[in-house]
């Protein structure tokens, strides 16, 4: 099928050509969403699912079946109809293939048990509070091979009438029902990902004053032991580029594909910008398929993709 194309590729370093062919184009697969987020490839279905946070839905897209609603509601069951961001945000699978969701409206990390071929919105609460206080609004998450779930908790899903019970924005790890606070020093922690060897935890900070990507060393048990700024892109905001550091994924090569000012920044593990996939929209998150043939991107009202080498 031929899809509408958009945007362009900014190439700052020849190493980007090892990942993205020189004739690669950004395809728009579907449109009309309020704010698309949290893309996740389901290998057994050969399909991508993703959140529309304000619409309180998860959609499913495949080359064969096109677009359909996968889950509704996805993050809020209450009666209010004026919540800004009630739905799910980040999505991933646990080691057993169950679906994990960051649910803004419920202010929790939830789980739906497999099979996911015809899922029902029956969510198990895995974590919803820290030391007796409700989370802000869990945003994004990633699973370690040891089963540990790392997730961020900025306040973006809170409405004006919600009570913010925590006086910080944390990065947590849930490991065999034990919840630990790993980072409490970031103003707006957002996207989170692991390096291929699982020795580094990457966290994006969506802050207009400090738009940054951080790299945290993990010990042999997966606990955060030290951190540093990997890359500060605040200067790109001053150039008028759309978007903030948000979701990110790490390629098997160790290269980081990080949404941020201008689209999706392609960043070396040393923190150098190799180039940018310029989507033309504020871009929330991205995901690879299992074979890394494509990078899927949720960019405001669109679902997009670009072919990889």
Q: Domain with 157 in it: what CATH number?
A: 2.120.10.30
Sheet strand arrangement including 170-175? 141-143, 149-153, 170-175, 178-183
**Does residue 26 lie within any of the structural domains?**
no
Spatial separation of the C-alpha atoms in residues 124 and 132, rounded to whole Å: 18
Residues 6+ apart with CB under 8 A from 79: none
Structural domain contains residue 180: yes
Distance, CA of 294 to CA of 306 (rounded, Å):
6
Q: Is residue 73 part of a domain?
A: yes
Average pLDDT over residues 133-160: 98
pLDDT, position 1: 83
Q: Does 78 reside within a domain?
A: yes
Q: What is the pLDDT of residues 110-124, one digit of tens each?
A: 999 999 999 999 999
Which residue from 210, 209, 168, 167 is spatially nearest to 185, judged by alpha carbons? Answer: 168
Give the predicted TM-score (pTM) of the model.
0.98
Model pLDDT for residues 222-232, shown as the tens digit of each residue: 999 999 999 99
Alpha-carbon distances, residue 251 vs 43, 194, 269 (angstroms): 17, 10, 10
Which residues are paired to 19 by β-bridges? none
Q: Report the distance separating Cα 166 and Cα 164, nearest Å.
A: 6
Q: Does residue 283 fall inside a structural domain?
A: no
The answer to the question of residue 21 being in a domain is no
As for how many domains the chain has, the answer is 1
- The sign of the dihedral angle between the CA atoms of 150, 35, 252, 212 is negative
Mean pLDDT of 91-99: 98
Give residue-wise pLDDT tens across range 158-204: 999 999 999 999 999 999 999 999 999 999 999 999 999 999 999 99
């Amino acid at each position: 099928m031929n899809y509408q194309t958009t945007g362009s590729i900014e190439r700052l370093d020849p190493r980007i050509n090892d990942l993205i062919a020189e004739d690669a184009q950004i395809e728009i697969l579907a449109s009309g969403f309020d704010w698309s987020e949290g893309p996740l490839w389901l290998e057994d279905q050969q399909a991508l699912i993703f959140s529309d946070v304000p619409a309180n839905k998860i959609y499913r897209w495949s080359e064969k079946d096109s677009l359909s609603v996968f889950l509704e509601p996805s993050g809020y069951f209450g009666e209010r109809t004026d919540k800004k961001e009630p739905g799910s945000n980040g999505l991933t699978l646990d080691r057993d293939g169950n679906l994990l969701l960051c649910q803004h409206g419920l202010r929790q990390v939830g789980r739906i048990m497999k099979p996911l071929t015809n899922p029902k919105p029956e969510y198990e609460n895995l974590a919803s509070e820290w030391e007796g206080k409700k989370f802000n609004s869990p945003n994004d998450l990633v699973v370690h091979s040891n089963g540990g779930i790392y997730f961020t908790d900025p306040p973006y899903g809170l409405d004006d009438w919600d009570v913010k019970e925590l006086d910080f924005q944390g990065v947590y790890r849930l490991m065999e029902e034990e919840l630990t606070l790993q980072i409490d020093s970031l103003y707006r922690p957002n996207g989170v990902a692991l390096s291929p060897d699982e020795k580094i935890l990457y966290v994006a900070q969506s802050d207009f004053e400090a738009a940054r990507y951080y790299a945290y060393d993990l010990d042999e048990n997966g606990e955060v032991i030290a951190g540093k700024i990997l890359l500060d892109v605040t200067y790109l905001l001053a150039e008028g580029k759309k978007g903030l550091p948000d979701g990110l994924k790490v390629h098997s090569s160790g290269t980081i594909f990080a949404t941020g000012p201008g689209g999706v920044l392609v960043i070396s593990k040393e923190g150098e910008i190799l180039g940018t996939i310029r989507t033309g929209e504020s871009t929330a998150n991205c995901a690879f398929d299992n074979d890394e043939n494509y990078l899927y991107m949720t960019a405001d009202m669109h679902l997009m993709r670009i072919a990889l080498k």
